Structure formats: structure tokens, C-alpha cells
Amino acid sequence: MADSPLNYPFNDCRSLAVSEKYDQLRGSRMLPRVRLPFGKPAWLVIDYEQARFVLGDPRFSRAAANGRDIPRQSDSPNDAGLLAIDPPDHTRLRSLISKAFSMRRIEGLRPRVRALAEKLIDDMKADGGPADLVEQFALPLTLGVISDLLGIPEEDRGRFRAWSDAHLSTSVLPAPEMAARSRELHAYVAGLTAARRADPADDLLTDLLTARDRDERLSEDELVQVAITLLFAGYEATSTQIPNFVHFLLGRPNLWDELATRPERIPAAVEELLRFVPLMAGAGTMPRYALADTVVGETVVAEGEPVIVSLGASNRDSTLFEAPGEFSLDRGRNRHLAFGHGPHHCVGMSLARVELQESLAAVLRLLPGLRLAGEITWKNQVMRGPCTMPVRW
């Protein structure tokens, strides 16, 4: 406690590397204390089992973050919506979202995802290149799939892009502007739900309305929040990881060739990429607060203190992963924490897997000579990835 907090995050947002600082800290059972650019200092968890413990133990609360000066990377409003509630309310709402993202329903989308990926690549080829893999492939793929699933009209999807950038990860807008865009998004989704009530459709938003009106399991505000959560769960992270994974594979021609000739290995490759290429520059934006004095490792986290968990560092823990600093297609059961753990694990992980598998398969099959056509412009955000990624083939 006497030591000054370490400046955090350690990773550089302009690359996909994992900082060596994590390995330097890993030998101690004491949690490091860190200070992010904004908010109070926090305890940092970087070990796998400790990560599972903090993410799964009810003594560490997301709801307790509300109204606090939370540790964070940008000076954005603390409005995490459904991500900042605890059971039993979280359990009630989560059950509805989980049904929307059931494995059976998501697997039924696979042909649609594959067809859209192929069409986007065909459009890129028709333009002649070079193309931006972010704007012309990753973003329209993920946004198109989740918008179709929820019933977002085609003409409104560009507006959603701007709202999403403000709501989740951008760090360039002033806080008042980000708050204003968040209000616009809430008003838009509220209007869309009203339209669906008047004219039902075959989409998830109508399904949620049916549950609301039949069982009264959702308030009107909760309904809007659930819809927004579903939109982001199926869009933001995956649209960032698609170009991240392609960039990683382009730097390893042997791995690229193996996956191109043996596409049945793509699912295993996606799991290892999820473990090996951390999405966040740091520990993300969801601190947990101790509801009582709780021991983590050999550190007593006092009641009211925040803890942040680095999933990327936890996925490099040698106590669980052999040679964690090496990429391997042969890990067998890959128990990575890329989608989190516990009550708040990523509800969109089934959809993310399908989109990542089908997007990589389409790129490897249809763009065998893919290569960079210029400098990548990297985000300066919580999520690491390219803003632009020019490519040729």
C-alpha cells in the first residue's frame, strides 16, 4: 500500500503485443496497484485463477461501481447500463438475453454470415482495390448481422455506427458530446421498440417486446437497455478482432498457408487467437468493487476498493497454458478467458465465434494473396485494433 500505483495500461494501443511488464509482476502473489488516466487507483489481477475468482465471486460487485469515480482509460460518463447491475436483477435480464443468443439460433445464422462475408469480398474485388478491411469488410459484416437479427432498418445503420463509437470505446470526444450521443441512441431504440409494438416483425426486438408484454419481466427502460446491450454484444468487439486476427496471420505466412489448405483448423485457430491477441489495451472498463474485505492471492482487498482484471494477461498465465507466449493450434481444450467469466461473461460469444470463423474462412479462401497496402491507422481507444487497414490481393 505504501508503494505508488503503477501507471496503467501497460500495453501500447498501436500494436497487438502484450507488455513484458505483466511477466515482471506475475511472480508476486501480491496484487499490483495501478492508476489509470482517470479515476481512483485499483488493484490489478493478472493471474488466471485469481481472474476467475474475482469475476465469479459475488463479493465483487459491478453495481457498486455506479456513482463512483471508477478507474478508466477515458473521461467518459460512467453509464454501463446492464453491465453494471448484480443479481438478482442481472439474472432476470440475462436470462432473456441468453435466449436471444442461444447456440441453436446463432448456428442458424452461419449461412447468412458466410454469404455476407463472401458478398463483401466480392464487392471489394469488384472495386479493384486497394480496400480498407475495416470499413469495407469487418464493420459492415458484424453490423449487418446483428442489425438483421434485431431488425435495425438498413437506412439507420450508419447512425448506429456513430452512436456506437461514442457509447463504447472512443476517447476523442468530450464527455458532454459522448453523453449526448448516448441519449440519442436511447431515444432511437425507444422509438424503434414503439414501432415494433405497433407493427411486429420476425426479429429479436419483437421477441423481447412479447416477453415484456406477456410476462412483464422487463420495464420499458430495461427493454431499451437490453436492446442496446444486444446490439453492442454482437458488433463492437468482433468488428475489431476481425482485422486484428487477419493482421496477426499476415505476419505468419506459414500459419496463413496452413489454415488456407486446412480450413477445418480454423475453429481451433480462432480460439487460440482469442487467447493470444488481447482485445483490450488494458483491463477494460468494468471494475469490480469489494463488498467486504476479501483476500485475493495474498492481498486483502478492502471493502469499497476497486479491482480490475486483465483478461489478456490472464490468458498468458503459465500455470494453465504451456508456453503461453507461443501461438499453438494444438492446445486441445483452450480454456481462455477472452469472453470473461462468471455472471457477466460475454453474452454474444456464440455469435462472435461464428463471425470470426466465417470471416477468416472467407478471407483465406477468396483472398489468398492478401497483403497490406499501406500503413495501418490504430485506434486510440480501450479496444485495440485498426481504424483503417488498407489491403491488396
By C-alpha distance, which of 168, 133, 123, 18 is closest to 377?
133
Residue 273 has pLDDT above 90, yes or no: yes
What pLDDT is stored for residue 170 in this prediction?
42
User: What are the helix (H) ranges across the chain?
Assistant: 21-26, 48-56, 89-100, 103-108, 110-127, 139-150, 157-164, 175-198, 204-215, 220-233, 236-250, 253-261, 266-276, 311-314, 349-366
Give the residue, 216 or 391, on which the prediction is more confident.
Answer: 391
Q: 332 is written with which cell numbers? A: 486441445
Q: Which residues make Cβ contacts (< 8 Å) with residue 336, sequence separation at least 6? A: 271, 274, 275, 315
317-353, pLDDT tens digit by residue?
999 999 999 999 999 889 999 999 998 888 889 999 9
Confidence of residue 82 (pLDDT cuts 50, 70, 90): low
Confidence of residue 169 (pLDDT cuts 50, 70, 90): very low
Q: Which residues make Cβ contacts (< 8 Å) with residue 64, sequence separation at least 6? A: 86, 288, 289, 291, 304
Residue 354 has pLDDT above 90, yes or no: yes
| 70 Cα distance to chain centroid | 19
**Percent of the chain at pLDDT exceeding 90:** 60
CATH number of 6-392: 1.10.630.10
By C-alpha distance, which of 66, 4, 2, 64 is closest to 35?
4
The pLDDT mean for the chain works out to 89
13-34, pLDDT tens digit by residue?
888 999 999 999 998 889 999 9
What pLDDT is stored for residue 215 in this prediction?
61
Give the residue, 353 or 160, on which the prediction is more confident.
Answer: 353
Residue 84 has pLDDT above 80, yes or no: no
Instruction: State phi, psi for 131 to the nearest 5 degrees.
Output: -130, 160
Q: 241 is written with which cell numbers? A: 478482432
- Judging by DSSP bridges, how do beta strands 60-61 and 288-290 pair with one another? antiparallel
How many Cβ atoms from other residues are within 10 Å of residue 283's Cβ?
Answer: 29
Residue 161 has pLDDT above 80, yes or no: no
* DSSP, residue by residue, 144-195: HHHHHHHT--GGGHHHHHHHHIIIII--SS-HHHHHHHHHHHHHHHHHHHHH
DSSP state letter for 376: P
Amino acid sitting at position 38: F
What pLDDT is stored for residue 94 in this prediction?
79
Query: In a 3-state reduction of DSSP, which class is residue 214?
Result: helix
Helices (H) and strands (E) in the chain, counts: 15, 13
| 227 Cα distance to chain centroid | 16
29-70, pLDDT tens digit by residue?
899 999 999 999 999 999 999 999 999 999 999 999 988 999
How many Cβ atoms from other residues are within 10 Å of residue 346's Cβ?
Answer: 16
Name the β-bridge partners of 43: 33, 307
By C-alpha distance, which of 5, 1, 68 is closest to 36?
5
What pLDDT is stored for residue 121 in this prediction?
98
What pLDDT is stored for residue 207 in this prediction?
80
Length reported for the chain: 393
Alpha-carbon distance of 230 to 147, in angstroms, equals: 10
211-269, pLDDT tens digit by residue?
766 665 677 787 888 888 777 767 888 999 999 999 999 999 999 999 999 999 999 99
Confidence of residue 171 (pLDDT cuts 50, 70, 90): very low
Q: Which residues make Cβ contacts (< 8 Å) with residue 126, sequence separation at least 6? A: none
